[in-house]
Amino acid sequence: MCGVRSLQLNEARDRFDLLEITSYDVTLDLREETTFASTTVIEVTSKGGDTFLDLKPVALGRIELDGTDLPVDALDDGRYPLTLPAGEHRIVVESAMPFRNDGEGLHRAVDPADGRPYVYQMSFMSAAPSVFACFDQPDLKAPYTLRVAAPDDWIVVANAAGTEVDRGRWEFEQSQPLSTYFVSLVAGPYHRIADHHDGIDLGLLARRSLAPALEKDAEELLTLTRQCFDEFHRLFGIRYAFGKYDQAFVPEFNAGAMENPGCVTFRDPLLFSTRVPRSMRIQRATTVAHEMAHQWFGNLVTPKWWDDLWLNEAFAEYMGNRVTAEVTEFDDALVWAAVARKNWGLTADSRPSTHPVAGNGALDADAALQDFDGISYSKGHAVLTQLAHQVGDDVFLGGVRDHFTRHRFGNATMRDLFGSWEAAGAGDLEPWTAAWLRKAGLDRIELDRQAGAVVRTPPADPADRTHVLGVAAWNGTAWERGEVRVETERTPYVVAPGTPVILDPDDTAWADLTIDPVTAAALPGLLPTMTDPLLRATTWITLRNGVHHARLDPDAAVAMICAGVPAEDQDAAVGTLGVWVGDDGEGARGVVHEKLLATVRDPERSRADVHQTFLARAATAPAGSDLQLAAYQAATGTATSTDWLRALLAGTETPGLEVDAGMRWRVLKRLASLGATDLDELDRELARENDAKTQIAHAWSHARLPDPDAKAWAWQRFTGEAAASNYEIEAIGTGFWASGQDELLMPYVDRYLAEVKGTTAVRSGWGLADGALFFYPITMAGPDLLAGTEQLIGDPELNLSIRRVLVDAGDEVRSRLRTRERYGAS
């Protein structure tokens, strides 16, 4: 799958002008282990001309056009050239396709818990041609008929309803018109729970080994689904259009979920086989709602080209968070979204790789994948939220309904949607669009006390943005709320001397905000009395943003954490801060690893302080509560005492805390970082409970060991000398680089810079970028690493996905060096 060229925008336009796809009929035989037989019959009408078919097989067996065999050796670089005279045509393609293990195409995973294989299809972006022959672009929609042969004990679900017509043989109804990237199936000895709501057949699926977890959470998941369907029907006034609705939790899934119509796939760590804090359930609930919003926005109406993909995600992010907060038990979803998601987008928007919200991926499909990031999701969500507030629900939802009606089962552009909003009464949106969607970067907004003003500093490519900015000022007894309309570079705003001020206390702005020195000095005393969870959340957001931009002393940030966490009642905030400062690999995404403690003056002292802080919160939280669990998880990731960790592993002195497999592996990960365990102990723990999650934790811990053999073992997975799944690459890469192992790891810095370019031979798509990201040597951040990274970025032959990773990673190194220089860290 590596090295296949990406579809260009001009090619897609030419093919759209030439072709109309009548239907696909796809037959798959899944009864082998490494490849599967795929037969595709395409009915197509051409205006007359040359084009190409997308196909990425192991071997092309036969291709037939209108009953005439064509030469199989004409396939080149994933494309088969075709000359289609004007009129109707029938194309038949028979090929052997690869089962993949990178989370794309038809992914096949074997569950280590019981040795059973499981299959699912991920067709997103450019993976569909590794499953069936197709014209792979979003605006060539067509209905699909699917037939599948599978082992006798498997069940198969797909976009449309289906039945097992004979033992191991499944046939599915013709689907509604779908883009190629939505075509999906899930097949294997899955455990399925069936339900029904308001005329819609519902299903939940998971591996057999996760059946207890699925059964335990089924009512929660089904209740969420029912509530969301009811609310989306009410808000949109248009019923769900794809018949039945299966939600499958599948192994080794790259994304959080994928919105395939009628057959949504989720990463199965979202089924909780061990205890998790409430914040994880909020994350799952918003993901469920997010994918359901896509059934209208993205599925019913699909972007014409990838440059509008952001709109799919921004809309689903906005509607998913909103509906979760308004109609489900998770009414604090917006607080979770603020503290757990916003910094992802703010940081992305401040990188050199920043891009406009709209228009990303305009040149080709690969470029779109590179820009599928926190800007698409988090910033897109923020600006759509602003627009919805600005125009009001009647206009916002009225425009959306018009958009769905006009383009039902078709494709549309951003201009189409904004035209519907304008027609619904929003007025001329072009100035707003130009400022917020077509310009990249963040306005920096800060309080200038001496000048008595709020100062706005635009990015390098300035935009004429208006910010309606909330302000909270401490009057000595309470936080007084106000509002500032920031339209120019200096907006008058006078505060009494020494008054602490928090900008954007309600999390409605999108800007680079800073905690000013007066407020930073006062916050350790004020955070323990701050009762508003959203005000605390925006304080944590701004704190993290300030450290990233070297405008807040990291030691001051530690002081605020130590003061505020003991009074924090949101486990999402405790957990997010724990990941930011911790070292257990839970939720860390490569370049953000140990962000705070990498820049303080005395890392060991700061680590000890935050560890004691998390312990203090655990001690005062109700026994057995989600807050207690989140605090213990954070304390584990910052622990330095092996005696404490061993006592925790033994379950002593922790009333209310269940030391299950999830908690045990957190402890073992930290022991691995401290060099206080070995492979034998890790192997024994794996044998105690060998499943997919413990195998990944074992791989992380193995890579973490301060041992030359462990590092060599890990590096073989990076280079592809030894096979590894997508989840293993993430775990091994984030486990590999450990603070305090500099002598052992130093040779691997040069090896990374020399060898990352060659990983295009063993990985592609998401997996290629993830390998480069997760194995980046961020713990070795220094001038030499920065110089080597910049030199590699300048290589004209470097793969674009790897270059994008390195641009962001290099910026993270510069951020850490800048902070160390400014605040005197070693």
> Cβ(811)–Cβ(782) under 8 Å?
no
Q: In whole angstroms, what is the distance from residue 221 CA to residue 193 CA? A: 11
Q: Exposed, middle or buried by CB within 10 Å (0-12, 13-18, 19+), for 743?
A: exposed
How does 3-34 read in b/e, with b if 16+ C-beta sit within 10 Å? ebebbebebbeebbebbebeebbbbbbbeeee
Q: In whole angstroms, what is the distance from residue 661 CA to residue 681 CA? A: 14
- Residue 291 annotated among the catalytic residues of the structure: yes
Residue keyed to tokens 């406009």:
356
Q: What sign has the CA pseudo-torsion 181, 186, 187, 188?
A: positive
Residues 6+ apart with CB under 8 A from 783: 817
Crossing angle for the helix pair 800-823 and 554-564, nearest 10 degrees?
90
Q: In whole angstroms, what is the distance from residue 747 CA to residue 742 CA? A: 9
Cα angle value 287/308/263 (rounded, 5°)? 40
Q: What distances in angstroms separate CA 693 from CA 111, 257, 690, one per listed residue?
A: 10, 18, 8
Kindly state the DSSP code that residue 116 receives in the 8-state scheme. -
Give the other-Cβ count within 10 Å of 58's Cβ: 14
Residues 6+ apart with CB under 8 A from 658: 275, 624
Kindly state the DSSP code that residue 297 receives in the 8-state scheme. B
Residue keyed to tokens 């403690």:
597
Cα angle value 416/421/423 (rounded, 5°)? 90
Q: In whole angstroms, what is the distance from residue 509 CA to residue 517 CA? A: 21
Q: Exposed, middle or buried by CB within 10 Å (0-12, 13-18, 19+), for 147?
A: middle
Q: In whole angstroms, what is the distance from residue 268 CA to residue 463 CA? A: 42
Q: In whole angstroms, what is the distance from residue 811 CA to residue 809 CA? A: 5
> Cβ(708)–Cβ(701) under 8 Å?
no
From 728, 799, 726, 802, select the one nearest 767 (Cα to Cα): 726
How does 432-463 read in b/e, with b if 16+ C-beta sit within 10 Å? bbebbbebbbbbbbbbebeeebbbbeebeeeb
From 281, 482, 334, 314, select the one nearest 387 (Cα to Cα): 314
Query: What SS3 state is found at 687?
Result: helix
Q: In whole angstroms, what is the distance from residue 737 CA to residue 731 CA? A: 11
Which tokens go with 206? Answer: 């998971």
DSSP strand E in 101-154: where?
Answer: 105-110, 117-122, 144-149
Q: In whole angstroms, what is the distance from residue 215 CA to residue 272 CA? A: 11
How does 694-721 read in b/e, with b if 16+ C-beta sit within 10 Å? bbbbbbbbbbbbbbeebbebbbebbbbe
Our separate counts of H helices and E strands in the chain read 27, 28
Selecting among 231, 291, 313, 317, the annotated active-site residue is: 291
How does 495-505 read in b/e, with b if 16+ C-beta sit within 10 Å? beeebbbbbbb
Q: Output phi, psi for 26, to 5 deg.
A: -120, 130
Q: In whole angstroms, what is the distance from residue 527 CA to residue 532 CA? A: 10
Q: In whole angstroms, what is the distance from residue 442 CA to residue 458 CA? A: 7
Question: Which are the catalytic amino acids?
Answer: 291
